[in-house]
Amino acid sequence: MSRRTKGDQAAGPRKAAFTTISGLTVPEVLGPADLEGWDPKTALGNPGEFPFTRGIHSTMYRQRLWTMRQYAGFGDAAETNRRFRYLLEQGQMGLSVAFDLPTQMGLDSDHALADGEVGRVGVAIDSLADMERLFAAIPLDRISTSMTINAPAAILMLMYAAVAKGQGAAADKIRGTIQNDILKEYVARGTYIYPIKPSMRLVTDTFAYTARELPQFTPISISGYHIREAGSTAPQEIAFTLANALAYVRAAVASGLDLDGFAGRLSFFFNAHSDFLEEVAKFRAARRIWADLMRKEGARRRESLQMRFHAQTAGSALTAQQPDVNIVRVALQALSAVLGGAQSLHTNAYDEALSLPTEASARLALRTQQVIASETGVADTVDPLAGSYWVEQLTNQLEDAARAYLEQVERLGGAVEAIRQGYMQRQIQDAAYAFQRQVESGEREIVGVNVHQAEIDEAIEIHHQDRALAERQIRALRALRQERDGVQVDAALRRVEAVAGGGGNLLEPLAEAVSAYATIQEMCDRLRSVFGTYREGSA
C-alpha cells in the first residue's frame, strides 16, 4: 500500500521511472517478504568469514582504519616529492603515485611522442635516478606505496625496490602495490605496449619474482575503476574486473605457481561512483562473488578467498561547472566506499575537472576522509547497513547481473578471448552511450550540468604547470646517459633481450638494467624488439 498522502497521490511521482545509475529498478518500499528465501547465514555470514559479504576482517575499522592513500604525481620527481611529504605531514597514511603518459607508455621524456606530455598528468620517471629523487627523505621501510602503472609495471616496481634497498630497507619491509593490470588497458584505457600473450608473461613473472624477492609487495591491483570511468555499469564493473582477475589467476597457475601461494596477495581497485546505495551493494556483491570463484578455482586458504580492494571516487562524475559542488559528491562517494568495506581510499580533489589539484584542494580531499573516519561514527561498527531490505536485495541483484556477464565471458573462452573479440568493449560503449543519452534528455539529473545551473561559475584557483619542467627533465636525462657506465647498461639490456626471446623470469635481467640506470624506454624497446606491439583484435 502506498504511503503517500492524497496530495502526493494527486501530484504523481516526481519522475517517470526510478532506477539506479546501472538501470536496476528501485522499488518504492521493501519489507521482509521481498527477501523471502534469502538466508542470511549463507548470503552474509559473519564479518571476516566466507563469503565475506560483510567485510574481510571480523572487526574491520574498529581495529584499524582504511589506508588514506591520496593519488598524486605531477611535474618532475622533486616537485612530486614535495607534494608527497606535504600530504604525509597532513596525516596521509600511504602514498599513491601517478605517472605521466610517456612513462606509462614506456617512452623517455625526450622521445618525439612525449612532446607536450612530460609531467602533465603524473610524474615523469625516466630512470632509477628519477625514482631516487621521487622518494628522497621518505622512509620506504615504513611507508606503503601504490603505483598506477601497467605495461612497464615490473620496471617501476624494480626501481622502487632499488631505492628502498638503497635506503637500507630489508626486502620483507618493502610494501606496496603496482596496478599491473594490463587486460583492462585493452578494454578501457589504452596504455598498453605489447601483445596480450607476452604482457601476461610479464604479469606472471612479477607474481613469481615478488613471492621470492619482495614477500610483502602486492604484484597486481586488478582495476574496475577504469572500466567504470569508461562508462560501464556497476554489474559490468564487477564482472569484467573479476573476469580479468580469473585470467591472471589461471595464467599464473599454468606457469607453475601454487594458487594459495599467490592468491592472498592479489588486490583490487574499484570506482566509488555517485549512486550511493548501489555502490555500497556493489562492493559487498563483488566480495561475495570473488570468494565463490576462488573456492571453485581450488583455493583453500582463507586469505586466498578474500577480496582486498582500494577505492577511488569517480573522476568521471566531477564537473567543471560549479566545481565546489564536487566536494559534496566526493564526500558521499567516499562514504559509500567506507560503508562498503574498502581497505584503502583516495578522494578526488574538487578542482580535478579543471586541472591537477592544488595543495589546498588536495588537503581538503584528505580532510574529507579524516572527517568520515573521526566524526561520523560509521567506522565504529562492522557493515552497518547489513540487513537493510534494499541494500540486501540490491546486493543480490548486482550479483545476479554480474554473474550473467561473467558467464558470457566464460562462454567466449575467458577474458583474453572476450577482449580479442571486443565483447567487453562493446558492452561498455553501449552503457556509456545510454547514460549520456539519459543526461542529455534530463532523465538522469546532474547538478550544475542539466539542473540547478549557474549563469556564471565563480573562478577558483587552479594548479599551473611549470612550463620549463620538460626542458629540465630532458637535460637531466641526457646528462644521465653521459655519466653512467654505458658498457654495463648495454650488457644488461642484452640480457633483457635474451631472456625475452628465450626463457626465465624477465624481472631478473630487468633488475640488473634498472640498477645500471638504463632508462625506461631502453628497457621497453628491448622487449618491443622481441614481443612486438599490440594490434587490436590480436592476442
Mean pLDDT in residue range 525-530: 98
Count of beta carbons in the 10 Å neighbourhood of residue 17:
9
Please give the pLDDT value at position 36.
Answer: 80
Pair 125, 480: CB distance under 8 Å: no
Please give the pLDDT value at position 512.
Answer: 98
Residue 518's Cβ-side half-sphere holds a number of Cα atoms within 13 Å equal to 28
d(CA 399, CA 458): 42
Q: Higher model confidence: residue 494 or residue 16?
A: 494
Count of beta carbons in the 10 Å neighbourhood of residue 484:
17
Mean pLDDT in residue range 445-453: 94
Count of beta carbons in the 10 Å neighbourhood of residue 132:
17
Mean pLDDT in residue range 288-317: 97
pLDDT of residue 509 exceeding 80: yes
pLDDT tier for residue 536 given thresholds of 50, 70 and 90? confident
Please give the pLDDT value at position 72.
Answer: 86
d(CA 363, CA 338): 19
Question: Where do we find the cell 611522442?
Answer: 113
257-274 as b/e: b if 16+ CB within 10 A:
bebbebbbbbbbbbbbbb
Nearest residue to 346 (alpha-carbon basis) of 496, 148, 483, 155: 148
Count of beta carbons in the 10 Å neighbourhood of residue 64:
12
Please give the pLDDT value at position 1.
Answer: 33
Radius of gyration of the chain (CA): 23
Mean pLDDT in residue range 289-311: 98
Over pLDDT 90: what percentage of the chain?
87
Nearest residue to 66 (alpha-carbon basis) of 243, 310, 294: 310
d(CA 468, CA 472): 6
pLDDT tier for residue 147 given thresholds of 50, 70 and 90? very high
Mean pLDDT in residue range 328-353: 97
Pair 241, 270: CB distance under 8 Å: yes
Please give the pLDDT value at position 10.
Answer: 56
- Write down the pTM of the prediction: 0.95
pLDDT tier for residue 484 given thresholds of 50, 70 and 90? very high
pLDDT tier for residue 482 given thresholds of 50, 70 and 90? very high
pLDDT of residue 300 exceeding 70: yes
d(CA 527, CA 262): 25
Sign of CA dihedral 365, 150, 184, 76: positive
Sign of CA dihedral 191, 196, 202, 208: positive
> Comparing 299-308, 359-368, 458-467, which segment has the lowest mean pLDDT?
458-467
Out of 441-445, 462-466, 513-517, the most confident range is 513-517
Lookup: cell for 374? 573521526
pLDDT tier for residue 458 given thresholds of 50, 70 and 90? confident
pLDDT of residue 239 exceeding 50: yes
Please give the pLDDT value at position 11.
Answer: 63
Burial class (CB in 10 A: 0-12, 13-18, 19+), 138: middle
Mean pLDDT in residue range 27-49: 88
d(CA 515, CA 522): 13
Pair 73, 123: CB distance under 8 Å: yes
pLDDT of residue 2 exceeding 70: no
Mean pLDDT in residue range 114-119: 94
d(CA 247, CA 249): 5
Lookup: cell for 170? 630489508
